[in-house]
Amino acid sequence: MATVEGAFDLIPEIGATIRISLAYLIALPQGIWVSLKILVVCILLQQAQENILMPRIMQDSVDLNPVIMFFALLVGARVAGLVGVFLSIPIAGMLIGILDIDEMRGKKTEKLAE
């Protein structure tokens, strides 16, 4: 089951929804309350993963401020859709590196500068 959910997690935009729906449907024969509890827990965990963990993980690998990273994802999705979601973080990192904007870098650069 974890392998299937991990595979759905690779699908951007709708992968998490499919994964949570699958967990809900599997738990449904156990009772409506159990499945609703599982649904709420899955949604909370997914939101924590997407909004807290992923920006911090990407910050260490790309050296971008999490707010800038989130903004880049929003702009990339709005401008180019699904392709923009994939390309927004590398493009933002490249532009910040080329333009040498230290204020938009992550904590790693700020610690080195001090």
Domain span at 19: 1-57
Return phi, psi of residue 13, to 5°. 70, -60
Residue with tokens 């909004």: 51
Say what the pLDDT of residue 110 is.
47
Question: Is 68 exposed, middle or buried (CB count within 10 Å of its CB: 0-12, 13-18, 19+)?
Answer: buried
Average pLDDT over residues 11-25: 82
Question: Looking at the structure, do residues 2 and 52 belong to the same domain, yes or no?
Answer: yes
Task: Using the predicted structure, report yes or no on whether residue 86 has a pLDDT greater than 70.
Answer: yes
What's the structural domain count of the chain? 2
Return phi, psi of residue 105, to 5°. -85, 165
Task: Using the predicted structure, report yes or no on whether residue 92 has a pLDDT greater than 80.
Answer: yes
In this prediction, residue 114 has a pLDDT band, given cuts at 50, 70 and 90, of low
25-84: pLDDT as tens digits: 999 999 999 999 999 998 898 888 877 877 777 666 777 888 888 888 899 889 988 788
Question: Looking at the structure, do residues 3 and 53 belong to the same domain, yes or no?
Answer: yes
Question: Looking at the structure, do residues 110 and 95 belong to the same domain, yes or no?
Answer: yes
Task: Using the predicted structure, report yes or no on whether residue 113 has a pLDDT greater than 70.
Answer: no
Question: Looking at the structure, do residues 68 and 102 belong to the same domain, yes or no?
Answer: yes
Question: Is 2 exposed, middle or buried (CB count within 10 Å of its CB: 0-12, 13-18, 19+)?
Answer: exposed
Report the b/e string of 69-94 with b at 16+ CB within 10 A: beebbeebbeeeeeebbeebbeebbe
Say what the pLDDT of residue 107 is.
65
Task: Using the predicted structure, report yes or no on whether residue 100 has a pLDDT greater than 60.
Answer: yes
